[in-house]
Amino acid sequence: MSDSSPSPKLLYCRCAYAQVVPQSVKDGVLAKLCDSGTSFESVADLCEMAAHRDERLKAFANTTPIRIAACFPRVVRGLFRQAESPLPEDGVEILNMRVQSIDEVSEGMLKA
Amino acid sequence: MITHTARPLRVVLYEGTGAIALSAPARAQVLAALLDKGYAVTRATAQGSTGFPHDDRSLLVLGQFQNQQAPDLEDATGKVTIEARDITGLETLDIVSLVEKARGNKPMNQPGTWKPWFPVIDYSRCTNCMQCLSFCLFDVYGVSKDGKIQVQNNDNCKTNCPACSRVCPEVAIMFPKHQAGPINGEVVNEEDLRREKMKVDISSLLGGDIYARLRDRSEAAKSRFSKERSADKALEERKKCLTKMAQDGFIPAEVLASLPSPDEIMRKAEEAQARAQAALSANGTPA
């Protein structure tokens, strides 16, 4: 990414409607995002949004580059596609809080 | 109650110019508490906006404003109602109460009372074989105008039942809220594929066979072996399969209890099979 590229937008999913993301990881990542001085967007649950085809998903998909802290990448892409808001192939980084560590996810989200 | 038209209120935690930043722990606590209640929260700092379009009809802006005085805010386009509240000195629970009060009786899905449980298709793996359409008894699947399998009625899906994912030969059906891989969306490996193929053999005993049996029903009725090929027997086998899946912990027992009546199952099976065959024919794929 060149210096002139726009900064990636940040989206954090809390997975609030089911306890499938380790609590410590989602709390830890949120704390790191909060500690940083950066602005970011957070949602209660991308699955809940996809369930009712929330128009915000379209806005997220259209705002690249974007980094998403959520779940398995193929799930996240599938949710957006199912909500008729497919994520573009390029300009999207998905961090997986189900398997990655707090440091891996937060560093991936906040890297320069 | 599930509300599919209502969107959760969007809250903006404003820490930009004219506001005093919260302490880091307080900020994290407030965000977590609001998210866990189902709200969408934007953290806006002096480092600029999040860059996402503000397409919401209403926004609630929270901040520790100068002189503890929330500013009057107005959307230049007049399309968005913006309210601002000062949260100086408030504890997290007080802030959540303030937001709940601001939401009023606008409906939203509350975490803990509903789980967004539905299949998600990985189209990079899906071969459009329609087995899921044929298998599901609850009309979750349908066919798009261009002949592709799609999830059309996710509300019909039975919470915690991933049975259709187990008949998918390509491991293309995911349930994001499922605990274990690959159904939860984990990367699919060769072992998963081998295991899923075996499951297809099991399911075909009931999922696939039942339709073949239905097609042959009239002929079977004339046959002296009709007892073995009867739709009743196929139905019984399907129930056995589902019972076995429930016993093995693959599907919840409630799903068994909520199965349609035998007549309804037969009707649905015929309809689903017809839709699947029509889609496959339209796509030029042999049924």
Q: By CA distance, what is B40's nearest residue in A?
A: A43
Give pLDDT tens digits for B21-30: 999 999 999 9
* pLDDT attached to residue B95: 97
What is the pLDDT confidence band of residue A84, given thresholds at 50, 70 and 90? very high
B27-36, B80-89, B249-258, B277-286: the lowest-pLDDT one: B249-258
Please provide the average confidence, as pLDDT, over all residues in chain A. 93
Interface of A with B in 20-39 (CB under 8 A): 20, 27, 30-31, 33-35, 37-39
Distance CA A70, CA B176 (A): 11
What residue spans in chain B does CATH classification 3.40.50 cover?
Answer: 10-103
A-chain residues within 8 Å CB-CB of B53?
59, 62-63
- pLDDT above 90 (res B282): no
CB contact under 8 A, A75 and B111: no
- pLDDT above 50 (res B222): no
Residue spans of alpha helices (H) in B104-169: 131-135, 163-167
- B111 and B36 Cβ atoms separated by less than 8 Å: yes
* pLDDT attached to residue A55: 86
Q: Is residue A20 part of a domain?
A: yes
Q: Is residue A29 part of a domain?
A: yes
- A13 and A70 Cβ atoms separated by less than 8 Å: yes
- pLDDT above 70 (res A82): yes
Cα separation values, A109 from A40, A68, B4, B57, Å: 10, 7, 30, 29
The Cα of A9 is separated from the nearest Cα of chain B by a number of Å equal to 6
Q: Tell how strand B58-65 and strand B19-20 pair up.
A: antiparallel
Q: Is residue A3 part of a domain?
A: no
What is the pLDDT confidence band of residue B75, given thresholds at 50, 70 and 90? confident
Residue whose tokens read 């919470």: B159
The interface pTM score, or ipTM, of the predicted complex is 0.95
- pLDDT above 80 (res B62): yes
Tally the domains of chain A: 1
Handedness of CA B218, B219, B222, B223 (dihedral sign): negative
CB contact under 8 A, B184 and A51: no
What is the pLDDT confidence band of residue B280, given thresholds at 50, 70 and 90? confident
Give pLDDT tens digits for A24-57: 999 999 999 999 989 999 999 999 999 988 888 9
The Cα of A101 is separated from the nearest Cα of chain B by a number of Å equal to 16
Residues pairing with A4 in the sheet? none
- pLDDT above 70 (res B220): no
Q: Which of B32, B111, B187 faces A17 most closely, judged by CB atoms?
A: B111
The residue among B9, B80, B115, B179 with the most chain A CBs within 10 A of its CB, best to mutate, is B115
Q: By CA distance, what is B6's nearest residue in A?
A: A52
Q: Is residue A2 part of a domain?
A: no
The Cα of A103 is separated from the nearest Cα of chain B by a number of Å equal to 17
The residue among A5, A11, A21, A34 with the most chain B CBs within 10 A of its CB, best to mutate, is A34
| Number of inter-chain CB pairs under 8 A, A vs B | 162
What is the pLDDT confidence band of residue B79, given thresholds at 50, 70 and 90? confident
Q: What is the 3-state secondary structure (H, E, C) of A58-98?
A: HHHHCCCCEEEEECCHHHHHHHHHHCCCCCCCCCEEEEECC
* pLDDT attached to residue A46: 96
**Domain range enclosing A66:** 9-110
Higher pLDDT residue, B212 or B271? B271
- pLDDT above 90 (res B252): no
Distance CA B11, CA A42 (A): 10
Report whether CATH 3.40.50 matches the domain B10-103.
Answer: yes
The Cα of B157 is separated from the nearest Cα of chain A by a number of Å equal to 11
**Rg, chain A, Cα only:** 13
CB contact under 8 A, A33 and B43: yes
Q: Which of B49, B116, B124 faces A47 most closely, judged by CB atoms?
A: B116
The Cα of A42 is separated from the nearest Cα of chain B by a number of Å equal to 5
